[in-house]
Amino acid sequence: MLSEKVSEALNKQIKMEGDSSQVYLAMASWAEVQGFEGISTFMYTQSDEERMHMLKLIKYVNQRGGQAKVGATLEPTLDVTNFKALFKQLLQHEIKVSESINNLVGITLDERDFATHNFLQWYVAEQIEEEATARYILDKINLIGDDKGGLYLFDNEMKNFVSPAANAQ
């Protein structure tokens, strides 16, 4: 059985993962309209992954005798000044998610909920990978700048993007 504190923190995380899915979805849609097929494919896939993160939490809460909350999701506001701004925003978002997961893990220790602590290790590892991916992409964008040819090649690369962190495992 989940304690009230753990249950509340998990429900907050459910909302955050749902919001993350929306952020990626908004980015996917923007990139698609701009004609960047690779970036948009990557973002659509990420959006699905974030939804999967949300579902995994919902099922866990319900399995442990809690009641997962499915609330309204935030309408994302995107900074689409340029690609650098967009991916910077993405990295900031993932850092915020990592902080939230860390906070959640801390709560499970305070509450001596070792089962949830164990369950959350998957999210800890996932966040390392997602931050690494966002940093990798941002580094590339910094190198390319506003060079149209570079952006074209980058977009092509993104069609079959495999996280550098996934390669390292």
User: Applying CB under 6 A, does 113 fall inside the site for ligand FEO?
Assistant: no
94 near ligand FEO, judged by CB under 6 A: yes
User: Exactly one of 9, 58, 108, 130 binds ligand FEO (CB under 6 A); which one?
Assistant: 130
- Shortest CB 35 distance to ligand FEO, Å: 26
- Shortest separation between residue 17's beta carbon and ligand FEO, angstroms: 5
With binding defined as CB under 6 A, does residue 20 bind ligand FEO? yes
Does residue 15 bind ligand FEO (CB under 6 A)?
no
Closer residue to ligand FEO (CB): 40 or 47: 47
Closest distance to ligand FEO from the beta carbon of 97 (Å):
4
Q: How far apart are CA 6 and CA 139, in angstroms?
A: 37
Q: What angle do CA 24, 28, 32 make, to 5 degrees?
A: 175
Which CB atom, from 94 or from 155, has the smaller least distance to ligand FEO? 94
Closest CA to 5 of 66, 58, 53: 66
By the rule CB under 6 A, 50 interacts with ligand FEO: yes
Q: How far apart are CA 158 and CA 141, in angstroms?
A: 12
Position 117 contacts ligand FEO (CB under 6 A): no
d(CA 61, CA 59): 6
**Could you tell me which residues come within 8 angstroms of residue 23 by beta carbon, excluding any fewer than 6 positions away?**
50, 76, 78, 90, 93
Residue 104 interacting with ligand FEO (CB under 6 A):
no
Among 27, 61, 97, 151, binds ligand FEO (CB under 6 A): 97
Closest CA to 125 of 161, 146, 98: 98
- Give the integer Cα–Cα distance in Å for 74 and 28: 16
Interaction site with ligand FEO (CB under 6 A): 17, 20, 50, 53, 94, 97, 130
